[in-house]
Structures are given as C-alpha cells and as structure tokens.
Structure 1
Amino acid sequence: MKVLVIGASGATGRLVVDQLLSRGIEVHAIIRSLDSLAEKPNLYKIQASVHDLSSKEMAIHLKDCEAVISCLGHNLTFKGIFAQPRLLVKDTIECICSAIKANKATHSVKIILMNTTGNCNRDIPEIAPLSQRIVIALLRVLLPPHLDNEKAADFLRTQIGQNDNAIEWLAVRPDALCNENDVSAYNVHVSPNRNAIFNSGATSRINVGNFMTELILNQSTWLKWKGQMPVIYNNP
C-alpha cells in the first residue's frame, strides 16, 4: 500500500508518517527540505513546496497511491499567518482532487484531511455553543488560517460530496493538540461534545496518527466515517 502525506515534517505529520511506517505502509512525503525527515525504510521523500505544484505535477506524485493524508498547516509566524498563500490548505486539497481525477485510477482514492473542532460540520448541521460561535466569527475575520481550514473542509463537502467515483474523503477533527510518546486510549465522535474554545479536550498527535492509520488499513473503520468529520479526544 502506498500513501502520500502532505505536511509530513510538521509536529503531527511526523507522527502520522511514523504510524504508517510502523504498519508496513509505503509513505511518500512531500517536504520542503529533505533534511526535515530522517531516512527510514519505506519512506520516500519528495522535495517540493506543495503550494507551487501544479495538478499535473501532483498527479505524478499520486500515481498508484491508495490514499492521501494532509496534515498541512500555516507556520505560526506573522508571515505564515497573514502572508500569502492564505488558502494554502484549501488550494492544496483542490489540487489533489484535480490530480486524482486526472489520473483516472481504476479505484477510488481516499483523502484524509486534518481539520479542527473549531470548524463545524455543516452537513449535519452542528450548532456550537454561542460563546464558541462568537469567538470563531472573530477568528474567521482576524486569522486567515481558520478560514482556510473551513474552506478546505467545505470544498470536500460541497465539491466532492458523498458520491464521487474517484474520491472518498473525511476530515479528522482533533481538539487541543498535545504531545505524548505513546498511543493511548481515545474516543471518536460524530460531533464535538465540548466547547472547542472554553472547554477543549486534549488530543495527542500520536493518537491522531494512529486513527488516520486505522482509517487507511481497516475498511470497516473507513466505511463508518467516510464523508464525515469525526472528532477525536484522548480518554480522560
């Protein structure tokens, strides 16, 4: 099995790569610097700036891939937050989808997008607490990365939808990300059961990687969650 990982050198992306490799999956990772990931068996590093790739170039990297995982995000610097490209994640997801369709694979390709509990699933629809909605409305205006996360998930929901023959997708929504050394017990829900701003729950990055790997390897898990935006929390 071959999986393409975007954002593989980030704090969560690295752990996703490790989880995939530990289960015998061949990982192709698009990274800016080859030195940002250590050499490992079954890891193939592609040096590129993902936002500069055309859909034709992306199609080459996606050839024979069964899945794509995006852990892409904005650097937490002034330039990373406010400079272009402001729609880094959404534009990349759109490019990936165009590339998948151009490849005309004989099987559908899975896309897993790392998103956030601050973004509601408007297919259900979810109604967040008023205090959360007020803060999110401000973030949508003041912090471009939040709007980018919303637009990336909205593209999959509205432009790909539930019945696309070439693409299956889901958006994993961790809550307050934290670092742990080992996979621990966690719960997965259809919708958040906490206030994402004022009562967030912990989600370890390694558990995110474990859940994404299970989605790739376990078809029953995939069928349970595909086309949805599952929320993952560590067990208390």
Structure 2
Amino acid sequence: MTVLVLGATGATGRLLVEQLLNRGHQVRVIVRSRDRLPEAVINHPDVTIVEASLLELSHEELGQHVTGCEGVACCLGHNLTFKGLFGHPMRLVTEATRRICQAIEQSKPEKRVKYVLMNTAGNQNRDLDETATFANRFVVGLLRWTLPPHVDNEQASDVLRQEIGKNNPSLSWAVVRPDSLVDRAETSAYDIHPSPTRDPIFNAGTTNRINVAHFMADLITNDAIWGKWVGQMPVIYSHEAK
C-alpha cells in the first residue's frame, strides 16, 4: 500500500511515517524542507519525498502526488508561535484537506481512497448530539473569535462531513480526535470512543502522540478497523488519562 502523509515533519506526522514503514508500506511525503525529516526517513528506500509548499502546488501537481495512493493521512497543524497561530495560511488544514480531496476526486481512483485527518477532541462532531456544558460552549465560542487554529480544525472536518460526505465514490474518511497531546517513547494501551467522554477544556485527558500515530496507521491499513470508524470522528485517550 502507498500512503501520502501530510505534516510528516511534525511531532505526530514523523511517528506516523515510522509506523507505516515498520508495517512494510510505501510512504510519500510533501514537506517544505527534506532536512527536517529524520535521516532514517530521508534514506529509506520506501519513502518518496516531494519538497514543496503544499498550498502552492497546482491541481495538476497534486493530482500526480495522490495518484496511486490508497490512503492519505493529514497531520498538519499550526506552530505554537505568534506567526504560527495568527499568521497565514490561517486555514492551512482546511485548504490542504479540500485541495487534496479535490485532487483525489479528479484522479478517479479505481478504489476509494482513505483520508484520515488528525483533529482535536475540542472540535465537536456536529453529526452527533454531543453534549457540552454552558461553560464549554462559552469558551469554544471565544476560541472561534481569538484562536484561528480552532476554526481551522472545525472547518477542516466540515470539508469531509459536508463537502465530501459519506457516499463519495472516490474517497472515504475518518477524523481522529485526540485530547491533550503528550510525548511518549512507546505505544501504550488506549481507548477509542465515538464522542468525548471527558470535557476537553475543563477535564481534559491526555493522548500519547505515538498512540495517535498507531491508531491512524491502523485505520489506513486495517480494513476491519476502518469499517468500524469510517465516516466518523473517533476520540482517542491513552489509558493513563483515566
């Protein structure tokens, strides 16, 4: 299987690339600078590196990069700096998701491509009746006005939910929602739920980045797991978050 990974130089994207390679899959990455990739990835025979700014690629170029891929994993996010939070592109994840999905549709794949988007437990799945306290709704409302990356997360998932839908002939999707992310050296036990079981603002749990990478790799490469969560927005917690 060939998988295109977006955000491969990020904290979770690197781990996902490693997970996929360890399972024997071919990986393509689109990165601004190959120098930000681990040496083991740069020199790996199963890795194809496209050095470019994703949003500056033409539709034709994106079409070439998605052709032949059976899965796409998006781990893009905003750097925790003033420029990263408030500078352009403010809708990085949304526009990347929209453009990649359009490229997949235009490539007319023989088999539906799996698109897995890394998101956040702070983004509600509006296809479900996910309850939230007044305080939670108030804070989320403030985040929409003051923190562009939160809106980016919401709109990116809406591209899949509303623009792509669940019956698209070219691609299917799942949105992975971790809670507060932490770094761990190895995978550990984790739970997957259709909706948050904790308040992501006032009672947040933690999720190991390597567990997120493991689950995303499972979704792409394991048809049984994909069949369970396709078209949904599963929330992942590490056991230690309990």
For the aligned pair, the TM-score class normalised by the smaller chain equals over 0.9
Q: Does 1:216 align with 2:213?
A: no
In 2, are the aligned partners of 1:6 and 1:69 still within 8 Å (CA)?
A: yes
* Residue matched to 1:129: 133
Deviations 1:186-232 (A, max 9, x none): 00000000010111111000000100111112101001000000000
4+ residue segments displaced more than 3 Å: none
- Structure 1 runs not aligned, ≥5 long: none
Q: RMSD of aligned C-alpha atoms?
A: 0.9
* Residue matched to 1:99: 103
* Residue matched to 1:141: 145
- The offset of 1:41, in angstroms, is 3.3
CA distance in 2, matches of 1:58, 1:128: 38
Which letter maps to 2:87? Answer: A
- The offset of 1:82, in angstroms, is 1.0
Which letter maps to 2:218? Answer: E
In 2, are the aligned partners of 1:54 and 1:95 still within 8 Å (CA)?
A: no
* Residue matched to 1:206: 210
Query: What SS is found at the alignment partner of 2:138?
Result: helix
TM value normalised by structure 2: 0.95
CA distance in 1, matches of 2:69, 2:207: 28
Q: 1:158 aligns with which of 156, 159, 162?
A: 162
Deviations 1:103-132 (A, max 9, x none): 111111110000000100000131222222
Deviations 1:153-199 (A, max 9, x none): 01100111111110100100000000000010000000000010111
CA distance in 2, matches of 1:204, 1:148: 22
Which letter maps to 2:122? Answer: G
* Residue matched to 1:88: 92
Q: 1:229 aligns with which of 226, 233, 237?
A: 233
* Residue matched to 1:20: 20
TM value normalised by structure 1: 0.98
Q: Does 1:3 align with 2:7?
A: no
CA distance in 2, matches of 1:147, 1:171: 15
Q: Does 1:51 align with 2:31?
A: no
Deviations 1:17-36 (A, max 9, x none): 11111101111011111111
Query: What SS is found at the alignment partner of 2:4?
Result: strand
CA distance in 2, matches of 1:74, 1:187: 26
Deviations 1:36-75 (A, max 9, x none): 1122231221101112122221111111000000000112
Query: What SS is found at the alignment partner of 1:29?
Result: strand
Which letter maps to 1:41? Answer: P
Report the identity percentage: 52
State the aligned residue count.
236
Q: Does 1:191 align with 2:195?
A: yes
